[in-house]
Amino acid sequence: MSKRLRSSEVCADCSAQDPCWASINRGILICDECCSVHRSLGRHISQVRHLKHTPWPPTLLQMVETLYNNGANSIWEHSLLDPASVMSGRRKASPQDKVHPNKAEFIRAKYQMLAFVHRLPCREDDSVTAKDLSKQLHSSVRTGNLETCLRLLSLGAQANFFHPEKGNTPLHVAAKAGQTLQAELLAVYGADPGTQDSNGKTPVDYARQGGHHELAERLVEIQYELTDRLAFYLCGRKPEHKNGQHFVIPQMADRRLLDLSELAKAAKKKLQSLSNHLFEELAMDVYDEVDRRETDAVWLATQNHSTLVTETTVVPFLPVNPEYSSTRNQGRQKLARFNAHEFATLVIDILSDAKRRQQGNPLAGSKDNVELILKSISNQHSSESQDNDQPDYDSVASDEDTDLETNAAKSNRQKSLDSDLSDGPVTAQEYMQVKNALVASEVKIQQLMKVNINLSDELRVMQKKASKLEKQSSVSESDYDNPTTPLELEETGAGRKGRQRSVIWQGEGSIPEDTDTAPSSSLPSTEDVIRKTEQITKNIQELLRAAQENKHDSYIPCSERIHVAVTEMAALFPKKPKSELVRTSLRLLTSSAYRLQSECKKTLPVETCPTTDIQLVTQQVIQCAYDIAKAAKQLVTITTKENNN
């Protein structure tokens, strides 16, 4: 932080003197007390970094300084600047206010609820408003006015907006104009340096073409920010991107610490078998946990261990991100229970596999690895030697004091770890392809799958019941659990009606009623039911992937495979089950599979019948998949319970 700023700096939230922290994505400086609240909100709300005791890329720090000096805080306190707000009693926090509840409530209202941000006039079509804002952002980034761009981003402009007429994104424009600070701001809000424009060029290409070589190098660093941060956390080193070395893979110096058990090998194979989508989610979660641990270490080193530290600043695990599923949030929180060695092992595995995936190296025996993943889905949260409270990603996590262990590990990491620098060929675009697809589909997917707490809780209860089976099966497996599974598909409001209808659906897929057959109480083996459930789950995953990537032509073949798997599972059960619960579950399973096929067929005549609402169809497809997964899980639970009795 430059000396010329230090004399006049105050906390953006309470006006305390000499703030020591910055909120990067808000463009403000904050004091210790307010920072403690920011940290509890999570990185999706505020990305905090210490001004002195945390390494800063120079241009990122310059970006925050510029925003702070140009009144970025007025964006988040717009309505408080209105004299009428004083008359109404609305005011910002003061240095004398208590952290809880005064400062905490104000900060949550300011950044989480955006209670004081300028509101645009209500319009019927919000998408048009977002598009207009994004176009303004696209034009503004060619200038040096950061505050204008932050204001547009706060109102809903998209950092990765692809301009249909210009054929590029705001980051392409900023890179071509040499606007380094604009590029930093866009990157903080998710802009992807690997995105190609209509000519197949990336922002890095345009920066180099314009002679902005430092900006080009910085954009490459941003591309590898995740893996660079993980490597630096373990060994204090980053790769030399200028020399084409894009990965540092730390290795345990003491080989005796390596876990070579079958469980560890299975866990590593499973990590390698995750889809690019799920692997990226896991890597991002570990990145957030690294940030939490490093910030904790800085916090403990800079405080006086007063009441402030011990009572109001504890962030024991990653805060909940409402944009993520409940399963993923649980897994993120349990990362905090990994001790230093366990967490380092996970980080090294992620770095190694990120390198392999980028360079396109094939994985031997991929079918076996996929089977490991599918098996873990049916036995999620379960293991022969672990209960349901153990971490989602690794069965060996402990309850030890990770803060102390992490600090000790960080102080000795140069002694305990060495580095193996990679100098292999690199294609940056290859590594970023999945991220591009995710950004493009994020809004659509969020609209399609909203969280329904009751159903999620119901599924978790069923999963816990079914998990008891593992204690009677072969040796349990340790794994990096799938952060999100089709068995926890969240339903939309429109889908709830479909779920109710599917229970009484009478069609081709309904379970036949054989009046001549006597009711049977016999049930198939739990192992057979689980095996068929795994096949159904695998096919549902393929369907969801098609929905995320807008590959509507894949709906019908996916639905056919699901129908076949459902038919095979239903055939395991007697024609006339004695249990009403079994009959109900089978009816839901088969009728939902039939209805899924019917919904998927609606994607066929898109060219001849342009009135087809693809979004509504996709919504119904996802709902059908949810019903199938739910019914299959119910049947696993029932057979497990009955066979154990």
Indicate the residue among 54, 83, 112 that finishes a domain.
Answer: 112
- First-residue to last-residue Cα distance in the chain: 68
Please report the sign of the dihedral spanned by the C-alpha atoms of residue 142, residue 148, residue 152, residue 158: positive
535 compared with 41, residue with greater pLDDT: 41
Average confidence score pLDDT of the chain = 75
The CATH number of whichever domain residue 628 belongs to comes to 1.20.120.330
CB atoms within 10 A of CB 399: 10
Same domain, 329 and 293: yes
**Residue 22: its H or E element:** strand 21-23
In a domain, 435, yes or no: no
Q: What type of residue is 142? A: R
pLDDT of residue 90: 73
Q: What is the pLDDT of residue 280?
A: 94
User: Which among 382, 402, 419 is the end of a domain?
Assistant: 419
Specify which of 51-55, 296-300, 631-635 reaches the highest per-range mean pLDDT.
51-55
| 137 and 254 fall within a common domain | no
Question: In the Cβ-directed half-sphere of 480, how many Cα atoms lie within 13 Å?
Answer: 30
CATH number at residue 17: 1.10.220.150
| Inter-residue contact 290 to 230 (CB < 8 Å) | yes
CA–CA–CA angle 476, 481, 483 (5° rounding): 160
Helix count and strand count (H, E) for the chain: 28, 5
DSSP 3-state of 454: helix
Q: Which of 98-112, 433-447, 476-490, 505-519 has the highest mean pLDDT?
A: 98-112
Same domain for 289 and 407: yes
Residues 196 and 252 reside in one and the same domain: no
Residue at token pair 């409001």 = 493
Question: Number of structural domains, the chain?
Answer: 4
pLDDT greater at residue 81 or residue 480: 81
Could you read off the pLDDT of 252-303 as tens digits, one per residue?
A: 655 555 555 666 677 788 888 888 999 999 999 999 999 999 998 888 888 7
Rounded to the nearest angstrom, the gap between the alpha carbon of residue 206 and the centroid of all alpha carbons in its chain is 30
Residues 6+ apart with CB under 8 A from 93: 13, 14, 34, 102, 103, 106, 107
C-alpha neighbours within 13 Å on the C-beta side of residue 225: 19
In a domain, 454, yes or no: no
Would you say residue 323 lies in a domain?
Answer: yes
**What local confidence, expressed as pLDDT, does residue 453 receive?**
39
Residues 191 and 277 in one domain: no
Are 522 and 611 part of one and the same domain? Answer: yes
Put simply, whether the predicted model's pTM sits higher than 0.75 gets the answer: no
**In whole angstroms, what is the distance from residue 124 CA to residue 122 CA?**
7
Q: What is the CATH number of the domain that holds 181?
A: 1.25.40.20
| Domain containing residue 46 | 3-112
Cα–Cα dist 617/475, whole Å:
43
List phi, psi (to 5°) of 452. Answer: -115, 105
What percentage of the chain carries pLDDT values higher than 70? 67
| 580 lies in some domain | yes
Q: Are residues 261 and 376 in the same domain?
A: yes
Query: For 151-168, what is each residue's pLDDT tens digit?
Result: 999 999 999 999 999 999
Q: Which of 364, 390, 419 is the last residue of a domain?
A: 419
Domain assignment present for residue 620? The answer is: yes
**Is the domain of 140 the same as that of 35?**
no
Element containing residue 294 per DSSP (H, E): helix 276-302
For residues 64 and 49, is the Cβ–Cβ distance under 8 A? no
Spatial CA neighbour of 282 closest among 246, 332, 323: 332
How far is the CA of 263 from the CAs of 259, 378, 480, in angstroms? 9, 18, 11
- 28-30 and 21-23 as β-strands: parallel, antiparallel, unpaired? antiparallel
Is the sign of the CA dihedral 290, 291, 295, 296 positive or negative? Answer: negative
Same domain (yes/no): 168, 279: no
Average pLDDT estimate for 413-427: 35
Q: Which residues of 435-467 are buried (b: 16+ CB within 10 A; e: fewer)?
A: bebbbebeeeeeebbeebeebbeebbebbeebb
Per the domain annotation, does 626 fall within a domain?
yes
Does residue 607 carry a pLDDT above 60? no
Residue 317: inside a domain:
yes
Q: What is the C-alpha R_g of the chain?
A: 27
CB 287 within 8 Å of CB 47: no
- Cα–Cα distance measured from residue 20 to residue 298, given in angstroms and rounded to the nearest whole number: 11
Residues 552 and 632 occupy one common structural domain = yes
Which of 140-154, 191-205, 514-528, 549-563 has the lowest average pLDDT? 514-528
Q: Name residue 386's beta-bridge partners.
A: 383
Average of per-residue pLDDT across 541-570:
86
Q: Do 188 and 282 belong to one domain?
A: no
Given this model, what pLDDT does residue 394 score?
Answer: 31
Is 139 domain-assigned? Answer: yes
Please give, one letter per residue, the 3-state secondary structure of 484-497.
Answer: CCHHHCCCCHHHHH
In the structure, what pLDDT confidence band is assigned to residue 543 with cuts at 50, 70 and 90?
Answer: confident
User: Mind listing the pLDDT tens digit for each residue in 68-93?
Assistant: 999 999 999 998 987 776 556 678 89
Mean pLDDT of 369-388: 36
pLDDT at residue 324 tops 70: yes
- Hey, which residues does 10 pair with through a beta bridge? 17
CB 357 within 8 A of CB 275: no
- pLDDT above 50: residue 243: yes
Degrees to nearest 5, angle at CA 610 with 607 and 614 = 95
Which tokens go with 170? 């705001």
Name the most confidently modeled range: 371-380, 505-514, 555-564: 555-564
Predicted confidence at residue 253, as pLDDT, reads: 57
Q: Are residues 628 and 553 both part of a single domain?
A: yes
pLDDT in tens, 334-364: 999 888 888 888 999 999 999 999 888 766 5
Whole-number pLDDT of residue 396: 28
Percent of residues, the chain, with pLDDT higher than 90:
39
Residue 336: name the closest of 397, 258, 283, 287 by CA.
Answer: 397
